[in-house]
Amino acid sequence: MSRISRLNRDEVTPEIAAGFDKIFAVRGNVPNMFRVMAHRPEIFATMQAHFAAVLNTGTVSTKLKELIIVRTSQVNQTPYCLASHTQLARGLGWSDDQLAHLADWQSREDFTPAEKAAVRLAETVTRDAHAVSEEQFAELRSFYSEGEIVELLCAIGLFNYFNRFNNALRMEPTKPGEGGCVAPPEHDEVGLARNGTRQ
């Protein structure tokens, strides 16, 4: 069980509640990590913005970012992040076999050289960032622009942060529908709630 309580929608500020609603609409749950971070609204808000920027902007595909997130979380042995991001990676097109045997990336023929370079970066940085050699960096430059290398490193760095946060708190994987809430009352055409009272 997580060492810190997970806040429900009725326990957070209206701004954070709106954030919960957006997350739930996309994911079908509000991840336990986000509900814990909501103890500090400023951290929750800035983390959400950073998370979206790292995962959804730039020119590196979200598919590749999710692959290196899975490998980072495997190296760090983080069940919480693996539960959600293995599923997300699968939904983006990676096979169960690729994900289950991602540690064998070097010998597999179903990853491109560019994908292998990204997975290698995730492993190296997660185990010891000082170990990124000039040879490895030259390999990265042969496949990725400077901005794309920044994207890869930000995804790896972000999930090293998340992995350690969740491992320290013994965060439990989020279940479908968890963190959801009763939606605000629906209004009809004259602005009355379904229960007949004006909002």
**Domains, the chain:** 8-57 (1.20.5.810), 60-174 (1.20.1290.10)
For residue 197, name the pLDDT band (cuts at 50, 70, 90). Answer: very low
The confidence band for 2, taking pLDDT boundaries of 50, 70 and 90, is confident
User: What's the full length of the chain, in residues?
Assistant: 199
- The mean per-residue pLDDT over the stretch 184-192 comes to 39
Q: pTM of this prediction? A: 0.87
Burial class for 107, CB neighbours closer than 10 Å (0-12, 13-18, 19+)? exposed
Q: Which residue carries 């540690």 as its tokens? A: 103
Encoded amino acid at 133, one letter: S
Identify which of 149, 97, 157, 90 has the alpha carbon closest to the alpha carbon of residue 125.
157
Whether 130 shows a pLDDT value over 60: the answer reads yes
Residue 53 has pLDDT above 60, yes or no: yes
- Which one has a higher pLDDT value, 40 or 195? 40
Binned at pLDDT 50, 70 and 90, residue 179 comes out as confident
| Per-residue confidence band for 176, with pLDDT thresholds at 50, 70 and 90 | confident
Torsion region of 162: left, alpha or beta (phi above 0 gives left; psi -120 to 50 gives alpha): alpha
Which among 11, 152, 16 has a CA at the least distance from the CA of 71? Answer: 152
- Predicted pLDDT at 181: 62
Lowest mean pLDDT among 20-24, 93-97, 158-162, 178-182: 178-182
Q: In the predicted model, is pLDDT for residue 57 greater than 90?
A: yes
pLDDT at 30 over 80: yes
Query: Taking residues 101-108, what's their average pLDDT?
Result: 98
Whole-number pLDDT of residue 198: 33
Segment 153-181 mean pLDDT:
93
pLDDT for the residue 186: 44
Give the torsion sign (CA, 58, 62, 68, 74): positive
